[in-house]
């Protein structure tokens, strides 16, 4: 055992080890990289040890939380993967309504821990996504119109910075670092622990409403206009989808391409039923499935459609408005969604997300109403190039109507300019904070912000 391995409480996996093949894999099967070392950390001390070792030996570092990054930032070629996925403790304080979450937790870990207390915090819409990557990039989900982004609910975080120190970042301590990790991604260090504000959430009135494809333009306009006045309790996204071949969908719809509005409402169920009536009556729909369900159940509703090991290619943008011209492009490209696992989603991003100013956190796009993602997802790698073309053409047709930048957590490796356009006026401050905490840019396997010179 090497001196390095002796200092590790978790596991060290090398290319010659039997577990290497599974340990090197990330969620997107299209990513095929071979790290020199994978350290499955047992705690913060392991993370510190890894950062020091990598810095001293000039090894590239990749940090893995949930491993969901589509460009595969949870792994690298020839470097050291700091895998946090064993660090899964969650401690809920029901009186203070807070949760302390270890850096390797997924949203499923958090939701299941807070639910018995009748509490929750905004996370993503798939339970297997990592808390660390999602939160540091911003993070939105079903609770965001009411309670803001995941990063808006972050109270404090313990960060292992490039010098191997553990720094607490919150409003009072290292406030610049705290500002940067709320939207700036993994550029500033590794969050070994994150403390979140919780809210009283137990069950939601939620589920998809399916409409025939021929009504797509009308449904998109309905979605746009409905969300403008919808109370914050209502969250919804528009989708093109191929109906999965199984319950709760009737056989007559299996494999059919349709459009949908997925809604999820907090608060009183009776009120939610009344408020969402225009959605359930438009058309009429093919199927309206909203019903009351526990929050962790909603959070894992689509997990089965998106298991690890599929091949992904994504394109995305923020939209200030969903214009009739953009809707016309959606109607042209959306119906060609290639597989049952693919996703064409337009999420509403207003409400509480807009209560925070553009410069209050690193997450700059606080004035957009929508964010869309076009995600081609397939089990068959041979088909991905074709589907990638569809994704790029669809995105290019919509881009002229976009706000210019994209949500960093939805970007592939798209170059410096694209990252810059995602941070608007916050970019220079991010570069200055990067220069302070990571002058050598050792955390660069991410949507990278170069340190200011
Ligand atoms: C199926 C699926 C559904 C998704 N749904 C949503 C959604 O509803 N809402 C949403 O906002 N996003 C969503 N995303 C996007 C998601 O936010 C990003 O993919 C995010 O990067 C995932 O974080 P992770 O920890 O799982 O990823 P990883 O691949 O482990 O890491 C991604 C990046 O985050 C950094 N990172 C990870 N953990 C830490 C940490 N503890 N400290 C510092 N840096 C860290 C890594 O260095 C890397 O650069 C989804 C992604 C997928 C694949």
Q: What is the pLDDT of residues 223-246, one digit of tens each?
A: 999 999 999 999 999 999 999 999
Residue among 321, 317, 334, 341 at smallest CA distance from 414 = 317
353 lines ligand 1 (CB under 6 A): no
- Report the alpha-carbon distance of residue 194 to residue 135 in Å, rounded: 9
Distances (CA, A) of 358 to 345, 363, 368, 369, 421: 24, 7, 11, 14, 14
Distance between Cα 347 and ligand 1 center (Å): 17
DSSP state of 214: G
| Residues 287-304: tens digit of each pLDDT | 999 999 999 999 999 999
Indicate the DSSP class of residue 162.
T
Architecture of domain 90-200: 2-Layer Sandwich (3.30)
Q: Is the CB of 183 under 6 A from ligand 1?
A: no
Q: What is the pLDDT of residue 376?
A: 98
Edge to edge, the sheet with strand 11-13 lists 11-13, 37-40, 80-83, 61-64
Once rounded to an integer, what is the mean pLDDT over residues 28-43?
Answer: 98
Q: How many CB atoms lie within 10 A of CB 279?
A: 22
133 close to ligand 1 (CB < 6 Angstrom): yes
Region(s) of the chain under CATH 3.40.462.20 = 203-410
314 falls in which pLDDT band (50, 70, 90)? very high
pLDDT at 226: 98
Q: Among the atoms of ligand 1, which is closest to the Cα of residue 126?
A: 3
pLDDT tens digits along 73-117: 999 999 999 999 999 999 999 999 999 999 999 999 999 999 999
Whole-Å CA distances, 184 to 81, 97, 135, 364, 449: 20, 26, 10, 10, 8
Comparing CA positions, the residue from 36, 33, 42 lying closest to residue 83 is 42
Q: 3-83 architecture in CATH? A: 2-Layer Sandwich (3.30)
Span(s) in the chain for CATH 3.30.465.10: 90-200
Q: Which atom of ligand 1 is nearest the CA belonging to 27?
A: 53
Residue 2 has pLDDT above 90, yes or no: no
Q: Whole-number mean pLDDT of the chain?
A: 97
Helices (H) and strands (E) in the chain, counts: 15, 19
Using CA positions, which residue lies closest to atom 33 of ligand 1?
Answer: 133
- List, by residue range, all CATH 3.30.43.10 domains of the chain: 3-83
For ligand 1, is residue 103 a contact (CB within 6 Å)?
A: yes
Does the beta carbon of 132 lie inside 6 Å of ligand 1?
Answer: yes
| Ligand 1 contacts CB of residue 27 (under 6 A) | yes
DSSP state of 183: T
Task: Give the mean pLDDT of 209-221.
Answer: 98
- Looking at residue 379, what is its pLDDT? 98
Going by alpha carbons, the residue nearest to atom 34 of ligand 1 is: 133
DSSP state letters, 321-343: ---HHHHHHHHHHGGG--STT-E
Whether the predicted pLDDT of 29 surpasses 70:
yes
Buried b (16+ CB within 10 A) or exposed e, 40-64: bbebbbbbbbbbbbbeeeebbbbbb
Biggest CA pair distance of the chain: 68
pLDDT value at 1 more than 80: no
Sheet holding 90-93, edge to edge: 90-93, 98-102, 190-197, 154-160, 166-170
Domain 203-410: CATH class, spelled out: alpha beta
| Spatial separation of the C-alpha atoms in residues 412 and 220, rounded to whole Å | 26
**Cβ contacts of 376 within 8 Å, gap of 6 or more:** 312, 313, 314, 338, 339, 342, 384, 387, 388, 390, 391
Measured in Å, residue 117 CA sits from the centre of ligand 1 at 26
Regarding the beta carbon of 63 and ligand 1, being less than 6 Å apart is answered yes
Do 40 and 23 contact (CB within 8 A), yes or no?
A: yes
Instruction: Compute, in degrees rounded to 10, the torsion defined by CA atoms 397, 399, 400, 401.
Output: 100
Rounded Cα distance between 189 and 8, Å, is 19
**Of all atoms in ligand 1, which is nearest to the CA of residue 181?**
43
Given a contact cutoff of 8 angstroms between Cβ atoms, the answer to whether 236 and 220 are in contact is no
Query: Cβ(69) to ligand 1 under 6 A?
Result: yes
For the CA of 129, the nearest atom of ligand 1:
26
Total-model pTM: 0.97
Q: Which residues pair with 291 in a beta bridge?
A: 206
The pLDDT tens digits for 116-174 are 999 999 999 999 999 999 999 999 999 999 999 999 999 999 999 999 999 999 999 99
pLDDT in tens, 354-407: 999 999 999 999 999 999 999 999 999 999 999 999 999 999 999 999 999 999
CB of 347 closer than 6 angstroms to any ligand 1 atom: no
Q: How far is the CA of 279 from the centre of ligand 1 (A)?
A: 31
Which three-class secondary structure string do you get for 276-290? Answer: CHHHHHCCCCCEECC
Token couple for 46: 């392991």
């Amino acid at each position: 055992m090497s001196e390095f391995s002796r200092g590790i409480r978790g596991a060290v996996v090398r290319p010659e080890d039997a577990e290497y093949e599974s340990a090197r894999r990330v969620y997107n099967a299209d990513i095929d990289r071979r790290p020199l070392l994978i350290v499955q950390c047992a705690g913060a001390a392991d993370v510190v040890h890894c950062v020091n070792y990598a810095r001293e030996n000039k090894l590239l570092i990749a940090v893995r939380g949930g491993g969901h990054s589509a460009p595969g930032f949870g792994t690298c070629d020839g470097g050291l993967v700091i895998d946090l996925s064993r660090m899964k403790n969650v401690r809920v304080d029901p009186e203070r309504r807070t949760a302390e979450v270890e850096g390797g937790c997924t949203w499923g870990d958090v939701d299941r821990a807070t639910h018995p207390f009748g509490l929750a915090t905004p996370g993503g819409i798939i339970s297997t996504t990592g808390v660390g990557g999602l939160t540091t990039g911003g993070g939105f989900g079903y609770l965001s119109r009411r309670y803001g982004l995941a990063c808006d609910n972050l109270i404090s975080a313990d960060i292992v910075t490039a010098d191997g120190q553990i720094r607490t970042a919150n409003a009072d301590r290292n406030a610049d670092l705290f500002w940067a990790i709320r939207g700036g991604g993994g550029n500033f260090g590794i969050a070994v622990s994150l403390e979140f504000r919780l809210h009283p959430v137990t069950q939601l009135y939620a589920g998809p409403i399916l409409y025939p494809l021929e009504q797509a333009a009308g449904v998109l306009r309905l979605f746009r206009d409905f969300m403008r006045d919808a109370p914050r309790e209502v969250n919804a996204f528009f989708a093109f989808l191929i109906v999965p071949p199984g319950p709760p969908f009737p056989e007559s719809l299996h494999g059919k391409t349709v459009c949908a509005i997925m809604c999820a409402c907090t608060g009183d169920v009776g009120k939610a039923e009344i408020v969402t009536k225009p959605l359930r009556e438009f058309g009429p729909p093919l199927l309206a499935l909203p019903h009351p369900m526990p929050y962790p159940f909603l959070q894992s509703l689509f997990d089965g459609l998106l298991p690890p090991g599929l091949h992904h290619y994504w394109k995305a943008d923020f939209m200030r408005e969903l214009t009739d011209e953009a809707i016309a492009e959606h109607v042209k490209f959306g119906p060609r969604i290639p597989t049952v696992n693919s996703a064409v989603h337009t999420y509403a991003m207003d409400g509480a997300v807009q209560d925070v100013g553009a410069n209050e956190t690193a997450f700059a796009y606080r004035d957009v109403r929508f964010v869309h993602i076009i995600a081609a997802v397939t089990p068959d790698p041979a088909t991905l190039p074709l589907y990638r073309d569809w994704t790029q053409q669809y995105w290019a047709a919509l881009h002229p109507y976009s706000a210019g930048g994209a949500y960093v957590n939805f970007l592939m490796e798209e170059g410096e300019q694209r990252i810059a356009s995602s941070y608007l006026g916050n970019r220079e401050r991010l570069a200055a904070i990067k220069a302070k905490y990571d002058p050598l840019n050792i955390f660069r396997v991410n949507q990278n912000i170069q340190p200011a010179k």
